[in-house]
């Protein structure tokens, strides 16, 4: 790893990194659990 890449990683905003990892985790969960995604989407559908 070069010095510039290391500075970018270690000098980053840890809150942003944490949020990004959280969103990636949720996205990964939804991709791997299509039934869970469908249940989630059903929560936002209008009842007739």
Can you give the pLDDT at residue 48?
A: 66
Contact 40, 30 (CB under 8 A): yes
Name the domain count of the chain: 1
Show the tokens assigned to 40. Answer: 């989630």
pTM across the whole model: 0.52
In a domain, 38, yes or no: yes
The neighbour count for residue 15, using CB atoms within 10 Å, is 8
**Domain, as residue range, for 26:** 21-48
In a domain, 11, yes or no: no
In a domain, 7, yes or no: no
Can you give the pLDDT at residue 34?
A: 86
In a domain, 14, yes or no: no
What is the mean pLDDT, run by run of 10 residues, along the chain of 48 residues?
Answer: 79 83 90 88 81
Can you give the pLDDT at residue 23?
A: 93
């Amino acid at each position: 790893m070069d010095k510039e890449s290391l500075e970018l990683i270690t000098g980053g905003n840890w809150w942003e990194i944490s949020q990004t990892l959280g969103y990636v985790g949720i996205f990964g969960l939804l991709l791997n659990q299509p039934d869970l995604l469908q249940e989630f989407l059903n929560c936002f559908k209008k009842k007739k």
